[in-house]
Amino acid sequence: MRPPFDCADPVIRERGLSAAHNAVKRGEVVVLPTDTVYGIGADAFNPAAVKRLLEAKGRGRDMPPPVLVPETRTIDGLASSIPFAVRELIDAFWPGALTIVCRAQPSLTWDLGETNGTVALRMPLHPVALELLGRTGPLAVSSANKSGHPAATLVPEAVEQLGESVRVYLDGGPSPKGAPSTIVDASNGPLRVLRVGAISEAELRAAVPKGWVELDEPAEVEPPAEGSEPSPTTSG
């Protein structure tokens, strides 16, 4: 296994981004820094690559990965029936630590797992992640850890857990937030917070006051555990 690419060095960073881009094109998996925790990523439109990602984590198709995007307008190609409140959330918090579960475009030829027609989308606020996404396009990205273990906030932690299953590791230093993204479900009616992470529910509601499930309305789903990734099968 080749050592991680130190992205603090501009020359090594370019080499690492090029190596990661090529690995993604070949259907391999890579580890990249994000603004929340480190992620393990693969070509979202390559079912074999997504399968490798899930196998590296020790997960099945019942826990499909979210998709990271390089820019806000990408959401229109990946999601359908986007409510105005979602666009307000995107304006307020993207790029950033907010994952939004939407209805997926039915024409997309991808296989992320058992998504029930939804997709979890996020635009990260990290220069290395955004530069890689700008080269590869949307990536299926889950937290860089074995299922059930803590998410990696340093690249050595990711290496220890994932080892040879990852082709390229991009080392961006310590994760800026060290906490998972907050997850909002917008796939089925009013907005619902599925997991509170780096952004609080109060911050969300302050930025977008309307369009939410009433606070006293009982939840219909159990939110993912802290540190886990969103499942696009979850709907409120």
Q: Where are the alpha helices (DSSP H) in 58-126?
A: 75-78, 84-93
C-beta of residue 121 within 8 angstroms of C-beta of residue 99: yes
CA dihedral of 140, 146, 151, 159, whole degrees rounded to 10: -90
Which of 113, 133, 135 lies closest to 39 in space, CA to CA? 133
The pLDDT value recorded for residue 215 is 61
Q: Tell me the average pLDDT across 51-60.
A: 96
Phi, psi of 106 (to 5 degrees): -65, -20
Query: Once rounded to an integer, what is the mean pLDDT over residues 155-161?
Result: 97
Query: Mean pLDDT across the chain, nearest whole number?
Result: 90
Task: State the first-to-last Cα distance of the chain, in angstroms, to the nearest integer.
Answer: 42
* Confidence (pLDDT) at 214: 79
pLDDT in tens, 72-87: 999 999 999 899 999 9
Contact 20, 32 (CB under 8 A): yes
Proportion of the chain above pLDDT 70, given as a percent: 91
Given pLDDT bands bounded at 50, 70 and 90, which one contains residue 189? confident
3-state helix, strand, coil in the chain (%, to 5): 30, 20, 50
Decide if pLDDT at 225 tops 70: no
**CA gap 26, 23 in Å, rounded:** 5
Lowest model confidence (mean pLDDT) among 29-38, 44-53, 86-95, 217-226: 217-226
pLDDT given for residue 234 in this prediction: 34
Q: Can you tell me the distance from the alpha carbon of 4 to that of 167, in angstroms, rounded to the nearest whole number?
A: 10
DSSP bridge pairs for 68: 122, 139
Mean local confidence (pLDDT), 167-184: 94
pLDDT at 86: 96
Q: How many CB atoms within 10 Å of residue 28?
A: 20
| pLDDT in the model for residue 109 | 85
